[in-house]
Amino acid sequence: MKRKPHSTSLVLLLVCIFTFWWGISVLTQNSGRGDGNMVQDFSNLTSQTITQATGQAPLLVHETVNGQTHVYSGTFMPKNPCDSFGSGIRYTSAGTGHVSVLLITEPSATACAQAAGTDGEPFSVSIKVSSDATPAFDGVLLNGNSIPAQLVEGN
């Protein structure tokens, strides 16, 4: 059976395209610039230093540990009290494990009467880790963007 010359060229072209696509995806994954969710590290700073550096007071995140469960909680004050609010957690098990608290706000679809003196929206998220793991707190992401936060251990 005789091969046609253009079929070999087509196979080589497909291999080159796949190799190029794979190389770009690996570079994007490893560069840290491609995901847009880099968390700014405020963990070693005091509340006063964070406020001076960012112009806003840090969000206090309380960590309580009960066995293998780590609970991260606090109160977030949305810009508009009528916005819907949600929270979640992101855990990556690379190395010792890294935890980020995820907060999400969306504008209200309907009109609402803003309540004066709102205390904010409470959040509480938890993760269960293996007995030998102690996760590192990476910070808080609000709608995908890093915001100043300070971890307070214990109650």
Residue 129: what pLDDT?
Answer: 85
Whether 142 and 116 map to the same domain: the answer is yes
Determine, yes or no, domain membership for 62: yes
Q: Is the pLDDT of residue 155 over 80?
A: no
Whether 71 and 135 map to the same domain: the answer is yes
For residues 107-123, average pLDDT: 72
Determine, yes or no, domain membership for 131: yes
Whether 13 and 83 map to the same domain: the answer is no
For residues 19-26, average pLDDT: 68
User: Where in the sequence is the domain holding 76, given as residue range(s)?
Assistant: 47-153
Instruction: Name the percent of the chain lying above pLDDT 90.
Output: 14
Whether 79 and 110 map to the same domain: the answer is yes
57 and 47 in contact (C-beta within 8 Å)? yes
Whether 51 and 102 map to the same domain: the answer is yes
Residue 52: what pLDDT?
Answer: 44
Phi-psi region of 36 (alpha: psi -120 to 50; beta: other; left: phi over 0): left
| Tally of domains in the chain | 2
Residue 28: what pLDDT?
Answer: 53
User: Burial, 83: exposed, middle or buried (Cβ in 10 Å; 0-12, 13-18, 19+)?
Assistant: middle
Instruction: Round to whole Å and give the CA distance between 3 and 143.
Output: 55
Could you read off the pLDDT of 52-98 as tens digits, one per residue? 444 568 899 999 998 888 999 999 988 877 888 888 888 887 667 88
Could you read off the pLDDT of 120-154 as tens digits, one per residue? 889 999 988 877 778 888 899 998 899 999 998 87
